[in-house]
Structure 1
Amino acid sequence: MYAKRLYAPLRALALAAGLALVSTAHAADWPTKPLRLIVPFSAGGQLDAMTRIFATGLSENLKQPVVIDNRPGAGGLIGSDVVAKSDPDGYIFLIAGNGAITNKLLRAKMPYEDADLVPVGLLFESSSVIVVNAKSDIHTLKDWQKKAGAGGHPILFATAGSGSTGHFVGEMLGQALNVPVTIVPYKSGSESSAALMGGQVDAASEASVSIRNYVAAGRVRALAATADHRTPLLPDTPTTAEQGFPQINITHWGGMYAPKGTPDAVIEAMNRAIAQVMATPAVKQQLNDAGYEPIPGSVAQFKTFIAAEDKRLGGVVKSAGMKAE
């Protein structure tokens, strides 16, 4: 009995060392076959388009084909669930945005646990831009505050669906300005933009690349960018913080996750590859042309970002009573 107790810790240490050697070996010859990136939205959308730019650079960096697999549905849950329940062999990854954090905040039930998806690294982001119809008498966020305070009707705010980034912008707007906002969900950003230009709603918020042509054509007016700095595609549009409302802050971002159990060495190797790809001039230029910026960082930085957004956006959800539909 004593011998068993004596050697048990040694066996545990040997097992841990063996696993570490296996993990290191796995990373040393990784990757040896094509990689699959699951995008939980339809082809042609912003996340899909930016992921394809990244995937081209990643394939060149890792010397392996990178396949984009679109698995849309349920606000990103279907594709995320595919990855959460996949074999953690280091060859399947999820590319997701705000939904990876907010879905659990908006839903009573989830098909997987938070811990089933492991953060790998941030990729890119773009500011959301609050817009109104070009004929609107609203030119600044404070104009809205004054008008609503004078007894005007609630702001009819179009979104690309419940729980979308635009939905969060609308709720943040109401809370920051202390004005009534009625959320009007549509099936897509193009539908919400069409409703705005048609005069059926008062405002919307979309990625800068999605609305810059409408701004240039004089069909909508850009009021504010919701990032920490102005968007390069609409440099004359002030940020929400510049107008005195820093709490209206959210971006369209993309990050990479892996199934729980993916070797740490592979995750670190992929994180290094992300940084290298995002530093490539061609990739940076393509992202910039689309209104996005590379934002790579360490695994630890991504985890910190997720924890902070979970807490911050959770507060918005609770205050507004937001739920997925």
Structure 2
Amino acid sequence: MRMHPSVAALAAGLALGTGLAIGAASEARADFPDGQTIRVVTPYGAGGGIDIAARILSSVADEHVGTRVEVVNMPGAGGLDAASYVHGAEADGTTLIISDYGPLITLALREDTPYAIDDWVPLVQVTEIAPTFVARTDAPFDTIEGFVEAARAQPGGIPITHGTYISSSHLPLLRLEQLTGAQANHVPTSGGGETVQFLLGGTVPVAVTTPATIASAIEAGTARALAVATAERVPSLPETPTLREAGFDIVMPVWYTIFAPASVPEERRTAIAERIAAAYESPAAQELAERARIVVRPITGAEVETIFADTRATVEATLAELDD
């Protein structure tokens, strides 16, 4: 996905600040690794949304976490390299991963990974991104129901673009087809930027992408959002219904969540989650998030565990039916 120039500049600035900001730790607690650097590993390269979310934490960590947080980008093998590294690290809570569900759920279900889904415990959900069904304004349908009806009437006849195969933008489409019997012509891309190019360039009439990548086209009146795959409507698209509102029971948000291996003692996981959540709630972190045009709302405890479990169940059901 191609970033807005201001977001790219923010990512670069945060990366520089991370390398310079080494401060004193706050009050010591036996259940928290005070004085030790916490490594937050990302499964993707620098500059993307997950990287920016991690660097926001890093930039405020000394004051609000009490320990330096170092961001480590470890792209490769669809997230397998990063997840394997964190899974194999010492179980003291100083090595964590911030990820979407691809490496920890989808990959673990599809590949022979050195970890299982149950080997991970979500600590803090940082933000949630809405997979968004969007059509060009000249498409022959202007609602998600209209798209489904058209895809039923013309099996395989309507091209729809999305990210890579079984990515977080592809899985909601697969689930929609499974629940409705619709069948579109899937056109994979390398990511959000190419997806929007295919849509606006006339290659396809409909796409699944994110609100940020399609916002300018919606504002310009060249595209319209049909539905979002989240439990609630998205603040940036208040008039766009959820898939559930349209009658399709699909909730498959893309979350950016910080995880610890389950082998880390529970008391330590809880202490780390509390401090990380407080750091993200700080005015400094919220200001950085606003500059990056992302909504940071930390979720911890039972709520984030439920989100993780619900996502796992939906992805498992989708992949199981896909393989049948």
Which category of TM-score, normalised to the shorter sequence, fits these structures? 0.7 to 0.9
Contact 2:133 2:144 (C-alpha < 8 Å) held by counterparts: no
Give 1:188-199 correspondences, 5 Å limit: 188-199=191-202
Which of 225, 228, 247 is residue 228 of structure 2 equivalent to? 225
Which of 55, 58, 65 is residue 58 of structure 2 equivalent to? 55
What is the distance in 1 between the residues matched to 2:307 and 2:66? 30
Contact 1:96 1:255 (C-alpha < 8 Å) held by counterparts: yes
Contact 1:159 1:183 (C-alpha < 8 Å) held by counterparts: yes
What is the distance in 1 between the residues matched to 2:108 and 2:30? 33
Give 1:1-325 correspondences, 5 Å limit: 26-27=30-31, 30-99=33-102, 100-107=104-111, 109-151=112-154, 153-245=156-248, 247-284=249-286, 286-287=288-289, 290-298=293-301, 300-321=302-323
Contact 1:35 1:64 (C-alpha < 8 Å) held by counterparts: yes
Shift of 1:80: 0.9
Q: Which amino acid counterpart does residue 277 of structure 1 have in structure 2?
A: A
Cα gap change, 1:229 to 1:293, in 2 (>3 Å) = farther
Q: Which amino acid counterpart does residue 319 of structure 1 have in structure 2?
A: E
What is the distance in 1 between the residues matched to 2:231 and 2:116? 31
Which protein shows a greater Rg? Answer: 1
What is the distance in 2 between the residues matched to 1:288 and 1:177? 38
**Alignment TM-score, normalising by the size of structure 1:** 0.81
Contact 1:125 1:295 (C-alpha < 8 Å) held by counterparts: no
What is the distance in 1 between the residues matched to 2:247 and 2:163? 26
What is the distance in 2 between the residues matched to 1:238 and 1:150? 23
Contact 2:123 2:300 (C-alpha < 8 Å) held by counterparts: no
What is the distance in 1 between the residues matched to 2:62 and 2:138? 47
Give the secondary-structure state (helix, strand or coil) at the position aligned to 2:202: coil
What is the distance in 2 between the residues matched to 1:154 and 1:50? 39
Cα gap change, 1:286 to 1:235, in 2 (>3 Å) = farther
Q: Which amino acid counterpart does residue 64 of structure 1 have in structure 2?
A: T
Shift of 1:88: 2.1
What is the distance in 2 between the residues matched to 1:116 and 1:261? 7
RMSD between aligned alpha carbons? 2.4
Runs of at least 5 residues in structure 1 that lack an aligned partner in the other structure = 1-23
% identical equivalent positions: 27
Runs of at least 5 residues in structure 2 that lack an aligned partner in the other structure = 1-27
Name the residue aligned to 1:19: none
Name the residue aligned to 1:11: none
Q: Which amino acid counterpart does residue 210 of structure 1 have in structure 2?
A: T
Give the secondary-structure state (helix, strand or coil) at the position aligned to 1:164: coil
Give the secondary-structure state (helix, strand or coil) at the position aligned to 1:294: coil
Contact 2:131 2:254 (C-alpha < 8 Å) held by counterparts: yes
Deviations along 1:231-272, one digit per CA (max 9) or x if unpaired, are: 111222222222222x23211201111234323332111111
Shift of 1:131: 1.0
Cα gap change, 1:26 to 1:272, in 2 (>3 Å) = same
What is the distance in 2 between the residues matched to 1:135 and 1:286? 37
Contact 1:122 1:296 (C-alpha < 8 Å) held by counterparts: yes
What is the distance in 2 between the residues matched to 1:205 and 1:70? 27
Shift of 1:209: 1.8
Farther-moved stretch of structure 1 (81-90 vs 276-285): 276-285
Shift of 1:129: 1.3
Q: Which amino acid counterpart does residue 135 of structure 1 have in structure 2?
A: D
Cα gap change, 1:206 to 1:50, in 2 (>3 Å) = farther
What is the distance in 2 between the residues matched to 1:166 and 1:296? 23
What is the distance in 2 between the residues matched to 1:175 and 1:115? 26
